[in-house]
Amino acid sequence: MYRKNVYLCAKFKTTVTMFWTLELASSLDDAPWPATKDELIDYANRSGAPEEVIENLNELEDDGEIYETIEDIWPDYPTKEDFFFNEEEY
């Protein structure tokens, strides 16, 4: 399962395409949230994240925005509730 996010970059009047999968996004689970774009790229490099993660992070607009969670980068990031797993049954 992959998710293609297309964003309109108003600054350059172009579109930015990022491909996220659960595997790629999970490489940012332990990132130092909240973080800036540069901090996330630095973390991805130091932690050995796949090149696609670094490419996706480079595609983000660099307006000094602070990203609180992965949902700020990938709004459709699946949460635990999305999997309908009832932990109380086990």
SS3 letters for the chain? CEEEEEEEECCCCEEEEEEEEHHHHHCCCCCCCCECHHHHHHHHHHHCCCHHHHHHHHHCCCCCCCECCHHHHCCCCCCHHHHCCCHHHC
Read off the pTM.
0.70
Alpha-carbon span 21 to 16, nearest angstrom: 17
Residue 2 in this model has a pLDDT that exceeds 70: no
Digit-coded pLDDT (tens) for 34-90: 999 999 999 999 999 999 999 999 999 888 889 999 999 988 888 766 666 566 766
Alpha-carbon span 79 to 48, nearest angstrom: 24
